[in-house]
Structures are given as C-alpha cells and as structure tokens.
Structure 1
Amino acid sequence: MSSTTTQPPQTTIYQLSFPAPHILLVTINREKARNSIPSTGHTEGDAIFTWFDREPSLRVAVITGAGKKAFSAGADLIEQNSRASGNNTEPKRQPYMPSSGFAGLSRRQGKKPVIVAVNGFALGGGFEICLNSDLVIAAPEARFGLTEVNVGLYAGAGGLSRVARSAGLQVASEIALTGRHITPEEAKQWGLINRIAKSRDSVVPEAIELAQLIASKSPDGVIVSRAGIRQAFETASMERASQITEQEYGQALKEGDNFKIGVKAFAEKKTPQWVASKL
C-alpha cells in the first residue's frame, strides 16, 4: 500500500511491509523460536530503524511478532548458551549489540515514533523494546517481564533504568528482582503501556490505526514533539529539557514547509497536505 524512495536493508530476522501510506510494519519473523532475537537481529534492527528515520515517505513504524504466542521472548538463549559454553564456532561480532540496543530499539534515540503491538509474551529484551518505544498496545493475553534473573543475567539493554524512571523504584524492583510475568492490566496501571487491545487479532490493526492518526499530523510537529518528550525523560531538569528542544528544533521547525502548510490550511479551513520532513 506504500512505496518508498529508497530500498530497505536486507534482513533474515524481520519481515517488512507497508500496511498503509507512510506506515512501516516490522514483524519479528521467528515464530518457532518465540521470536527470540539472535545477535544478527540487533544489527539488522538497527539498520532497519536507521533506514526508517531517513526514508522520506515513512512517518511511523509498528513492530510486532509473528504468530500468536510471543511478541519476543527476548534473547536467543540457545545462542547465548553456545556462547557461554564456548561451543560457538561463528566469528565473534564486536560489539554484541549496537548502541541502539536490543533489536536496534531498546536504547534507540531515533527521530520518528515506533509503536509496539504486543501479541503475546514480551520478556527480557522483548520487554526492553517496549520500555523504550513511544507507544505500546497489548493483547489481553500479553505478558511482560524482565526475566533475566531467572537465567543468571540482568536487563542490560537499557530496561532497568527505563522501568525505574517510568514506574518508580518499588514497582521496578518487583519487576526486575522477581522476574515474574506481569499482566497487561498491571502494565497499564503502572504506566508502562498505553492500551489493551480488544483482542489478540485486533492488536496490530489497532496499532496501525493509531499510527495512521499520528501520520496524519505534521511530520515536523511529530518529530519535534517526540524529541521534546524524550529530552524531558532523559534530562534531570524539565526546564533544561525545554531549552534543549527549542535550541535544536525551534527555528528549523518555524522555517520549514510544514509549519507554513499547517497555518495556511488552518486559516483557509482546509485539510493540510503535509510534505516529507527535512528536520
């Protein structure tokens, strides 16, 4: 339903599709492995979402998992076991994970919004993806958890700091120290997801509908609004976060085409016809 001006990166882990204009749908395509992600999946994910940020025709991405059991069960523990036991014959890849984190998302800064459609288990790195994404919609059957303590690890792809910032010390401690599964109701109560979908089958369509609503707004306005929110999340001082956003984007946004298009359409009571962002 959509064409792009540049070719997406090659991938063996993900399936890319375009369900609506300006929308990228990324599906983790390892259903038999509960969509766990091996080391190659992190660099592939980083390449995909770097391309997404740079592709002029795309405005919002949705990521989900293949099948009905899991969004992502986290790291590929079979591969992890092979590495830990010294049986891995593949050349070592350094670093194991890019700076953007698990699947190129758990520590991603990025430019454009990503929505997670959680169709099943989101555990370990799968939950860390959610904790750093812009919006999360979960199926009623979804389950979340930082389960790394169950296998002798810790949530090292950015999840600990993000769950603490989002949910607070005590809730974060319960999640990370017990390794238990939490329900969508708990996750929503703690501010970790946005919505619970009507059904598992509707979670992706609902996420795409939300993506379309965002994509209908000014691409420049969305990019700068997202940057301002994330600056506030990362910066200790709220006022300093506002200053940084204004310094980095304020003038460029007001000099850009979409601001002129937006105010002209408002004055003429017309629907704005946005153009690709140059920010």
Structure 2
Amino acid sequence: MSSNWDPLALRPPSHSDELKVSFPREHVMLMTLNRPRHLNAMTPQLATGIATILNWFDDEPSLWVVVVTGEGRAFCAGADLKAWLHDQSSGTANEQESVASSVHGFASISRRHTSCKPMIAAVNGSAYGGGVEIILNCDMVIASEDAVFALPEVKRGVLAAQGVIPRLGRVAGHQLASEMLLLGNTITAVQARDRFRFVNLVVEKSAVVPTALDIARQMTMNSPDSVQSSKEGLILSQKHHFEEAVHTHSMSLVSKRLYHGANIKEGLAAFSERRKPRWSNPAKL
C-alpha cells in the first residue's frame, strides 16, 4: 500500500453538525448526511457543509476515495419542499438562475465534474429527487435490499434539473429514463440495478457501508494516479466525442502527473520485482 498515511494529521474544516466526517480506512473519507429525523433532506447548511468538506477533500493528497451515506433510515429525501414553498410564496425563489449558476449541482455533488477522486454512494434507505441526483453522479452505488428510489418532482409540479435527466438518459436509455422522470413512481434497489442500471450491488442493510468501504479499500490498493486519471477519462467521455475525449485526456494535467510521477515507476518496478507496490500520494495539480 503506502507509507504516508496519518489520519490524525487530517484537519477537515469546520462544518455543520448536519454532516459527519470520519476516516475509517486508509486514504478513505466517510461522509454521512446527519438529519435522520428529516430523512436527510437537504438544507442550505448541509449543502454548504458538503461543499466545504468536498473542496477540502479534493485538495488533500492523502485522501483518495470518499464514501457518502445517510444517517438513519433514509439516504436523502432530496430538497426541503416546505422551504421551497416558502421561497415560492415569498417571491424569493429564482430556480432558473439557481440551477444555471450552480457549479456542482444539488448538494455540491450532482454535477461535480472537477474532481477525479472516486465517490461511492452507500444507499442505506430511501432516495428521492435530489437524493437520486446525488447517486447518479457517484462512480459506484451500493444499495440496501430495502432501498427505494424515485424522481417524484413531476408529482409536485417541480423539476429534477440538477443533472439527473441527461445522466439517467445515458445510463438507462431514453425509455427507461422516461419511466422514472415522467411517471415519478418508486422503484426498488433490484430494479435500479437490473433495469435502470445505476446500482452496482444490492446487499443487506447492515452490509451497505461495510461493503462500500471495502470497495473503497480495493480502489486504494491501486495507484491513485491511475485511478484518478481513469475517472477523468470517464468524465471527459461524457463531454466530448470519442477522438476529442481521448486526445484531451492524454494531454491533461492529470495524465501528465501519472506519466511523470513516482507511482508509474513504482508500479512497474513492483511488477518486475514480484512484490506489492507501495503507492505515494499524488502530487497536487
């Protein structure tokens, strides 16, 4: 593995107690939405806390993977609709401007395309609206057997506008995406895995977070430079046509860091010497 991991040296920035942050595995951060009585519905304070922590995570070389989950029986119930009604009634809502100007989307996750570090969703229960938008922008999704998913915005007269529409269309295809978006009905974890194809594994509820952490551990067994460059390639493939994506990826700073960094030399040497590699933290870009 590596020899430069010291979780006691990590100093995450201050944030609301609506978010819990811990470091349960080497190079892994666990981020837990902590509004269980409100099904982890998003508040401005929680969204700000997530943005603050993820910006710090992105800039911390010793952290390579993040797992996001929810406290209690829900993953995330999406936006606080009562607060939304208040903004609408008071005339302070400006949804079009808010969506267009949002850099990273719902909860600072749903359109977060600047980070090359993997994010794993550990879906411990229900996920509605914005909760599904979060999940669709994660790199892997582990769901409990009793987890359910829905995009019920059409039933409330609002819109799932923070990135889930194009992403779900790519993942599930137009017709299945329409089924979720235009009907607003709930689907099960097995359906999300087998029909809609945005869940990787369905496990017992007690195994959701441990399974996600084990997958994170498996990721950290690989070169962090290689993992992060691979994720960047996936992100670029969503933005560009084939040849442009390949060219842009090959000339990026993340690829340059890989080809000129210590880990490529270590990986090749470890293979030649028939030993496990000892990865080092990627250099800051």
The answer to whether the 8 A contact 2:155-2:184 is kept is yes
Q: 1:161 aligns with which of 158, 163, 166?
A: 166
What is the match of residue 246 of structure 2? 242
Partner SS, residue 3 of structure 1: helix
Letter in 2 for 1:244: T
* 1:3 to 1:79, Cα distance in 2 relative to 1, 3 A: same
TM-score (norm 2): 0.90
Q: Shift of residue 87 of structure 1?
A: 9.1
What is the match of residue 219 of structure 1? 224
Q: Does 1:204 align with 2:196?
A: no
Gaps of 5+ in 2: 1-5
Letter in 2 for 1:85: S
The answer to whether the 8 A contact 1:146-1:176 is kept is yes
Partner SS, residue 141 of structure 1: coil
- Distance in structure 1 (CA, Å) of the matches to 2:199 and 2:80: 24
- Distance in structure 2 (CA, Å) of the matches to 1:227 and 1:257: 19
* 1:222 to 1:9, Cα distance in 2 relative to 1, 3 A: farther
What is the match of residue 50 of structure 1? 55
5 Å matches for 1:6-155? 6-67=11-72, 69-86=73-90, 95=98, 98-109=102-113, 110-155=115-160
Letter in 2 for 1:113: P
- Distance in structure 2 (CA, Å) of the matches to 1:50 and 1:76: 24
- Distance in structure 2 (CA, Å) of the matches to 1:162 and 1:152: 21
Q: Does 1:191 align with 2:197?
A: yes
Q: Identity of paired residues, percent? A: 38
Letter in 2 for 1:239: E
* 1:154 to 1:4, Cα distance in 2 relative to 1, 3 A: farther
The answer to whether the 8 A contact 2:123-2:147 is kept is yes
Q: Shift of residue 119 of structure 1?
A: 0.6
Q: Does 1:263 align with 2:268?
A: yes
Partner SS, residue 122 of structure 1: strand
- Distance in structure 2 (CA, Å) of the matches to 1:34 and 1:19: 24
RMSD: 1.8
Q: Shift of residue 240 of structure 1?
A: 1.6
The one-character-per-residue Cα deviations of 1:114-173 (angstroms, maximum 9, x if unpaired) are 000001111100000011111100000001111111111110111111101111110111
Gaps of 5+ in 1: 89-93
Letter in 1 for 2:202: I
The answer to whether the 8 A contact 1:100-1:107 is kept is yes
Partner SS, residue 45 of structure 2: helix
Q: Shift of residue 38 of structure 1?
A: 1.2
Q: Shift of residue 26 of structure 1?
A: 0.4
The answer to whether the 8 A contact 2:31-2:67 is kept is yes
Q: Shift of residue 238 of structure 1?
A: 1.8
The answer to whether the 8 A contact 1:29-1:66 is kept is yes
What is the match of residue 3 of structure 2? none
- Distance in structure 1 (CA, Å) of the matches to 2:126 and 2:65: 23
Letter in 2 for 1:28: L
Partner SS, residue 158 of structure 2: coil
Partner SS, residue 165 of structure 1: helix
Aligned length: 271
Q: Shift of residue 7 of structure 1?
A: 3.0
TM-score (norm 1): 0.92
Q: Shift of residue 24 of structure 1?
A: 0.4
What is the match of residue 175 of structure 1? 180
The answer to whether the 8 A contact 1:4-1:58 is kept is no
Letter in 2 for 1:115: I
- Distance in structure 2 (CA, Å) of the matches to 1:6 and 1:30: 23
Letter in 1 for 2:226: G
The answer to whether the 8 A contact 1:42-1:101 is kept is no
The answer to whether the 8 A contact 2:16-2:45 is kept is no
Partner SS, residue 201 of structure 1: helix
Letter in 2 for 1:182: I
Q: Shift of residue 44 of structure 1?
A: 2.1
What is the match of residue 229 of structure 1? 234
Partner SS, residue 170 of structure 2: helix
Letter in 2 for 1:250: S
Letter in 2 for 1:137: I
